[in-house]
Structure 1
Amino acid sequence: MSDMITADLVDLDLAAATKEAAARSLAERMRELGRITDLDGFLADVAAREAQMPTGLDGGIGIPHCRSEHVTEPTLAFGRSAAGIDFGAPDGPADLIFLIAAPAGADDAHLTILSSLARRLMDESFTGALRTSTDRSATASLIRGDAPPPAKAPVAGEAGAAPSSDDGAAAASVAGSSDSGADASDAGTSGAGAPASTATTAPQSGGDAAGPDAGTGRTDAAGATAADDGAATGSAPRGPFRVVAVTSCPTGIAHTYMAAEALEKAGGAAGVEVVVETQGSAGFARLDPTVIAAADGVIFAHDVPVRDKERFAGKPTVDVGVKAGISRAAELIAEVRGKAERGEVTAAARTAAPVDRAGEPGEGYGTKLRKWLMSGVSYMVPFVAAGGLLIALGFAIGGYEISDAKSVAEHFVWADHTSWAALLFQVGGLAFSFLVPVLAGYIAYGMADRPGLVPGFVGGAISLTINAGFLGGLIAGLLAGFTVMTIQRLKVPKPLRGIMPVVVIPLISSIVVGFLMFLVVGKPVAELQQALTDWLSGLSGANAVILGVLLGLMMCFDLGGPLNKVAYAFAVGGLANPTEGSLKVMAAVMAAGMVPPLAMALATVVRGRLFTKTERENGKAAWVLGASFITEGAIPFAAADPLRVIPSAMVGGAVTGALSMLFECTLRAPHGGIFVVPLIGNPFLYLLAIVAGTLVSTGLVLLLKGARKPDQAAASAEAASAEKVSVAA
């Protein structure tokens, strides 16, 4: 860091009042030294990074930073504000401001600066020295690590910093190197400049007998740890308690490394060996599998899903947010030791599915089940959209007889439009064939993470094989998830833990799910699916209208929520083996789902004074969202006035669903809104059903809103507008 900060890049009397002014003031110093080619362009990049997430940290620290094409070399500028500047930290303004500039694409340099700085900021003596320094050159030298801070630097007023092990440890951390003379309590701390993923390494067989461990950052005043003594003499005494940890935060920079530093220091103070894997923004170096295998416990301090979490399966685990890793490091180490002593071996580590975090403590079974099912449906939707629309385009170009065309791999005429139609239809058909396996696989994934994928997909494929269809896929996914979760709870010998997620669990769970689907539950479900298909095929008259009403109510009750998704998934499942009844269901579901946003958009036009300015603006977007079959376009209106908007939407959706079924409209595309009207059976009557439902919902919501007392309505609108202005400000 010797060239990254000089005395010219230090301002000990920063007079800026805002974070933008502070960034400009420090950036001007960078420009004067030729480190920045375009000041305004660089500041725009800083502002863009700041907009992603505030860069203020607890303890009065602000770290604005960015990568920019306007930066010629990695640079760090420092400013100290007497009044404090708001950088969005929870505990208030920052008086220590570090502006970090890295060239575009310089991920390693950027991360090195930030991680090194973040680790040093955990030392009270370091931040205290920065607050009392009166010389710019000395301050730059201190930040570079050329010299340690004063042994008794004052730290009054500093909030949120983790306690330093001792002054020697602080000096070692700031200087960026291990100190062989450090107190034994410093074992496990790392140099500030060392890569975080290897900052502290558990001893391997034949480890060093004494002195500083250059590859690990461990130091012991006695000359050797107990573990090292055992390795040297050939005896096998129990070494120190070993912990592996993973830290990560949304940006993968400051908090990630501060938590790592705090855990390492707390481990050193407690005589615990702590090895930290920092999953930062520029990637991460995985811990050695032998280090993980030798660990007695695991700490996850993270705000984003831990990558490759299954590596830590079968060990006592503490799972918290990254800030807890900074502020409660000693407590976390004590907690994981307690779990290990009590034999609380955690089931195979699970990462939350990207769609929804499933199975949180305290949630009811119904909530967990909803999340699991939603996980599967959410992953299925892209296959639905791609496959269904390709099939619809194939029909539009080549007619419905295109389903009987030969394989395009055997017969394709470049100049023949029917060949292109067949290509679209056959590609769409293959994409559509993944619906049930993907549904089942990702239900299991939502329950048990990656080990659930194999039995889930296998169960979904079996469901198709035995004609159990969509219902079979739901059941297969749940069976797979429960089977894997059961296996994960079993205590297994250490030698088997490494192969459990990739060999043992997929093998055993696939056998169990296959047995259950083929021989136990598959046949009854297939019979139920066939009965449901026959019922849909025979729908007519009053029965069809009643089903249309029910589907319309479901589509409009939660406006894109679980009930909406259940109705939609039910309709899409029927497209896998389309019949006249299932095509009617698909048409009714899409028509009803278009009504709520269209009705809210129309209502804001007819009687705009009943709505706030923000709602009127949302109404403009709702036209497009409703026409595109995006029911969620009505959510802003429902959130502001659910007791009037939701019932109105449900009544209009029920009317549209009933009329669509009564008019015997059909639809082979699972999405598209008005853009797939040419593919709809009885398109004019279909549009009439949508218009009718929209008018009913509009009239009802206006009636309900107009029934409020005028002063109440005005006050509500005024309050909503004021709240919006406040949020914007």
Structure 2
Amino acid sequence: MELIDILTKDHIILNLKGTNQDDVIDELVNTLAANQLTNDPTSFKEAIYKRESEISTAVGYGVAIPHAKSKSVSKPTIIMGRTLQGIDYGGQHTNLVFMIAAPENASDEHLSLLSKLSTFLMSDTFRAKLLVATSVDEVLTAIREQDKEEEPEADQTDAGKYLIGITACMTGIAHTYMAAESLKEAAAKRGMKVKIQTNGANGPENSLTSQDIQHADAIIVAHDVRVDTTVFNGKRFVDVPVKKAISHADQLIDQALNYDIRDPQAEVVSESAPEPEKKSGLNFYKHIMSGVSYMIPFVVVGGIFIAISFMFGIYAADPTSDQYNVFAEFFSQVGGEAAFALMVPILAGFIGYSIADKQGLAPAMIGGMVASIGGSGFLGGMIAGFVGGFAAKYIGRAFKGVPKAFQGLISVLLVPLLSTFIVGAFMFFILNTPMSLLNVFLENWLTGLTGINAAILGALLAGMMASDMGGPINKTASAFGLAMFAANIFEPSAALMVGGMVPPIGIALATTLFKNRFTLQEAEAGKASYVLGASFITEGAIPFAAADPLRIIPANIVGAAIGGAACMALDISLKAPHGGIFVIPIASNHPLLYIGCILLGSVVTCLMIGFLKKPLSEKDRQKAKAMDSVI
């Protein structure tokens, strides 16, 4: 069964009306019922919510895949919904929602659909095509193209060798299966036998046996959560985050084969050099991103509520002021005194949770609150998360030999008590004073930036934001912006949003003004990029950058840098780091000037693209037109 067989025209909603998770689920279920694919939409909706209550089906990358089995469903079906503005789905900003409905007894089909859809959504280009599609037919075309994408022939020198592995992501849904599928496909191209255990939300599937481990030639463990690797009996294995298995499966297989674990002399790894454990335990990037992902909703809500409060007047939230307004006080209290106050503790807590699971949550979060109270701010909160998380992790290990009858007492009393004492004492006696002084220095330095110095910083941040559109450079700039945001310095946030909005808007302008540089399909995609760019959805630029990186990416960076420089030179601030045009009127101190900076950067990007890209020949146009008409 192919996706195109069950995701038909009347199953696709390009403009969801819902503005929150519940409304969108209602809309998708109603579409399911309208197509007579369920005879009891209420019971199916209950099954969807039951699944969501176990763990959110938001899988990142702006995608959610709610799914459920129900006896009320007649056949496996997918309902797709898209919202360009985006919604909060399970705490993640989401633009694409795929609801999978399967009959109660269709376990194989249900898993197959989920796995195949997850594999398709690994592709940045595929997701971008769905976002910029202007019609249902374009969505179906993108799916057909992805389904029929030709794969290059691969080297068969490893034919017959046996690859095993385990994949496990934070939610246990899409990325778990994406990584497994990527490894399977890479191994199959080489002619290798392969078995990948997926530790999904419903528990391990396709579990490895002792015979699998004994006869394996290579082992790969791709995980963002803890996995039991003792089953490998000391055999060396490649230990990486899930995303690396998705994008670099071939390289990982080469690395795993180089360990030559079938060599009897290489069977056991010395206890003095537990390489896989160290790599996994000290994956700082993974832990920081885990904390930041949970922190962002607090930042967004707090910033917007504070911005709304200021709309009533600068002092309208102060009961002693003549400007006092009760609604202003409400928004100020909820946004500033509640949401903002929780930002740093949440960041620290979920860094600790990423390191030591539940045992690390309380000490790290308390350490984060001590950092917030003591003036250490965002950076102090990050350090508190690591100290609290690793303290809980190693204290827990120290008590592993205690009889099981006392393990419950140790996990709920001794581990949190001792690790909280450690992180609390470290923050209170050692870190808070120097870190608070550093924060004051940074705040004074940034506040004092004017003219050319502010412009340089704005250009750097916006240029980094536009450089790799979601990669490590982009995330480094975003982390700096969040740190400044937590310190109530809002100018960097404005420059960063310029860096995210300029690429798609600039490209859209180029497709309008320089049509002869683009194929008909690219020109159509450019129209949707106007909306995506205005909504701060940078993914609209990805298909163009992937097709012509040497011209598009430099144009994006230069345009974004110029817009960001102008933004900070003009002392423009933004109290909501996400939302695009929807938050600018209420969250920016100079909304018209700010929009002007975005347009300035977009025009520069547009002109650079027009200059760098050569007009297409008539032959190229005819070829592109012919390709567009296929399918």
TM-score bracket, shorter-length normalisation: 0.5 to 0.7
1:681 alignment partner, SS class: coil
Please say if 1:493 is aligned against 2:402: yes
Residue matched to 1:188: none
8 Å contact from structure 1 (residues 592, 657) kept in 2: yes
Shift of 1:400: 1.4
**Using a 3 Å threshold, how does the CA distance of structure 1 residues 719 and 338 change in structure 2: closer, same or farther?**
same
**Using a 3 Å threshold, how does the CA distance of structure 1 residues 341 and 666 change in structure 2: closer, same or farther?**
closer
Partners in 1 of 2:590 and 2:407 — Cα distance? 60
Shift of 1:555: 1.4
8 Å contact from structure 1 (residues 611, 717) kept in 2: no
Shift of 1:644: 2.3
* Structure possessing the higher relative contact order (Cα contacts under 8 Å, 6 or more residues apart): 2
Alignment counterpart, residue 635 of structure 1, candidates 538, 542, 548: 542
Alignment counterpart, residue 601 of structure 2, candidates 693, 711, 714: 693
8 Å contact from structure 1 (residues 454, 506) kept in 2: yes
Alignment counterpart, residue 538 of structure 1, candidates 445, 448, 463: 448
Partners in 2 of 1:659 and 1:645 — Cα distance? 21
Q: Cα deviation per residue 1:555-584 (whole Å; 9 max; x = unaligned)?
A: 112223343333334334334443xxx233
Partners in 2 of 1:366 and 1:716 — Cα distance? 52
**Whose helix proportion is higher, 1 or 2?**
2
Shift of 1:352: 8.9
Please say if 1:438 is aligned against 2:346: yes
**Using a 3 Å threshold, how does the CA distance of structure 1 residues 333 and 454 change in structure 2: closer, same or farther?**
farther
Shift of 1:641: 2.9
Please say if 1:645 is aligned against 2:555: no
Q: Cα deviation per residue 1:105-160 (whole Å; 9 max; x = unaligned)?
A: x99x946x969xx9xxxxxxxxxxxxxxxxxxxxxxxxxxxxxxxxxxxxxxxxxx
Residue matched to 1:379: 294
Residue matched to 2:36: 41
Partners in 2 of 1:590 and 1:649 — Cα distance? 13
**Using a 3 Å threshold, how does the CA distance of structure 1 residues 338 and 663 change in structure 2: closer, same or farther?**
closer
Give the percent of matched residue pairs that are identical in Structure 1 and Structure 2: 39
What amino acid sits opposite 2:318 in the alignment? Answer: D
Shift of 1:683: 3.1
Alignment counterpart, residue 593 of structure 1, candidates 478, 500, 516: 500
Partners in 2 of 1:629 and 1:341 — Cα distance? 45
Shift of 1:329: 6.7
Residue matched to 2:579: 672
Partners in 2 of 1:395 and 1:18 — Cα distance? 49
8 Å contact from structure 2 (residues 345, 365) kept in 1: yes
**Using a 3 Å threshold, how does the CA distance of structure 1 residues 719 and 646 change in structure 2: closer, same or farther?**
farther
Please say if 1:422 is aligned against 2:329: yes
Alignment counterpart, residue 70 of structure 2, candidates 39, 53, 67: 67
Partners in 1 of 2:5 and 2:467 — Cα distance? 45
Partners in 2 of 1:337 and 1:615 — Cα distance? 47
Q: Paired residues, what number?
A: 427
Residue matched to 1:370: 285
Please say if 1:514 is aligned against 2:424: yes
Query: For residues 117-516 of structure 1, what are the structure 2 equivalents within 5 Å?
Result: 301-305=197-201, 322-325=205-208, 328=209, 330-331=211-212, 368-396=283-311, 398-405=312-319, 418-429=325-336, 430-490=338-398, 491-495=400-404, 496-516=406-426
**Using a 3 Å threshold, how does the CA distance of structure 1 residues 17 and 403 change in structure 2: closer, same or farther?**
closer
Residue matched to 1:287: none
Shift of 1:647: 1.6
Shift of 1:554: 1.7
Partners in 1 of 2:590 and 2:625 — Cα distance? 45
Which moves more between the two structures, 645-654 or 588-597?
Answer: 588-597
Shift of 1:527: 1.3
8 Å contact from structure 2 (residues 520, 625) kept in 1: no
What amino acid sits opposite 2:499 in the alignment? Answer: A
Please say if 1:553 is aligned against 2:460: no
Residue matched to 2:532: 625
5+ residue gaps, structure 1: 1-15, 22-37, 50-64, 76-105, 119-247, 252-299, 308-320, 345-350
Partners in 2 of 1:361 and 1:464 — Cα distance? 34
**Using a 3 Å threshold, how does the CA distance of structure 1 residues 538 and 18 change in structure 2: closer, same or farther?**
closer
8 Å contact from structure 1 (residues 383, 432) kept in 2: yes
Partners in 2 of 1:17 and 1:509 — Cα distance? 52
Residue matched to 1:604: 511
8 Å contact from structure 2 (residues 464, 499) kept in 1: no
> Could you state the TM-score of these two structures normalised by the residue count of structure 2?
0.57
**Using a 3 Å threshold, how does the CA distance of structure 1 residues 606 and 428 change in structure 2: closer, same or farther?**
same
8 Å contact from structure 2 (residues 371, 384) kept in 1: yes
What amino acid sits opposite 2:448 in the alignment? Answer: G
Partners in 2 of 1:361 and 1:715 — Cα distance? 53
Shift of 1:652: 0.8
2:301 alignment partner, SS class: helix
Partners in 2 of 1:433 and 1:481 — Cα distance? 21
What amino acid sits opposite 1:67 in the alignment? Answer: S
2:325 alignment partner, SS class: helix
Residue matched to 2:590: 682
Shift of 1:439: 1.1
Partners in 1 of 2:481 and 2:4 — Cα distance? 52
Shift of 1:324: 4.2
Shift of 1:462: 0.9
What amino acid sits opposite 1:41 in the alignment? Answer: Q
Shift of 1:688: 1.9
CA RMSD of aligned residues (A): 4.9
8 Å contact from structure 2 (residues 443, 487) kept in 1: no
Partners in 2 of 1:467 and 1:705 — Cα distance? 50
2:206 alignment partner, SS class: helix
Partners in 2 of 1:324 and 1:70 — Cα distance? 29
**Using a 3 Å threshold, how does the CA distance of structure 1 residues 691 and 478 change in structure 2: closer, same or farther?**
same
Residue matched to 2:561: 654
Shift of 1:421: 1.9
What amino acid sits opposite 1:378 in the alignment? Answer: S
Query: For residues 97-136 of structure 1, what are the structure 2 equivalents within 5 Å?
Result: 110=104
Shift of 1:616: 3.4
Shift of 1:369: 2.3
Partners in 2 of 1:470 and 1:607 — Cα distance? 44
> Could you state the TM-score of these two structures normalised by the residue count of structure 1?
0.50
5+ residue gaps, structure 2: 7-32, 46-67, 76-100, 112-170, 175-195, 217-226, 236-240, 248-273
Shift of 1:379: 1.1
Partners in 2 of 1:360 and 1:382 — Cα distance? 36
What amino acid sits opposite 2:328 in the alignment? Answer: A
Partners in 2 of 1:337 and 1:691 — Cα distance? 52
1:381 alignment partner, SS class: helix
Partners in 2 of 1:306 and 1:508 — Cα distance? 33
**Using a 3 Å threshold, how does the CA distance of structure 1 residues 372 and 608 change in structure 2: closer, same or farther?**
farther
**Using a 3 Å threshold, how does the CA distance of structure 1 residues 323 and 648 change in structure 2: closer, same or farther?**
same
Which moves more between the two structures, 637-646 or 607-616?
Answer: 607-616
8 Å contact from structure 1 (residues 42, 68) kept in 2: no
2:70 alignment partner, SS class: strand
What amino acid sits opposite 2:344 in the alignment? Answer: V
What amino acid sits opposite 2:506 in the alignment? Answer: A
Partners in 2 of 1:484 and 1:338 — Cα distance? 20
Shift of 1:656: 0.6
Shift of 1:365: 7.9
What amino acid sits opposite 1:666 in the alignment? Answer: S
Partners in 2 of 1:670 and 1:338 — Cα distance? 40
What amino acid sits opposite 1:322 in the alignment? Answer: E
Shift of 1:384: 1.2
Please say if 1:583 is aligned against 2:479: no
**Using a 3 Å threshold, how does the CA distance of structure 1 residues 460 and 674 change in structure 2: closer, same or farther?**
same
**Using a 3 Å threshold, how does the CA distance of structure 1 residues 39 and 706 change in structure 2: closer, same or farther?**
closer
**Using a 3 Å threshold, how does the CA distance of structure 1 residues 721 and 443 change in structure 2: closer, same or farther?**
farther
**Using a 3 Å threshold, how does the CA distance of structure 1 residues 518 and 712 change in structure 2: closer, same or farther?**
farther
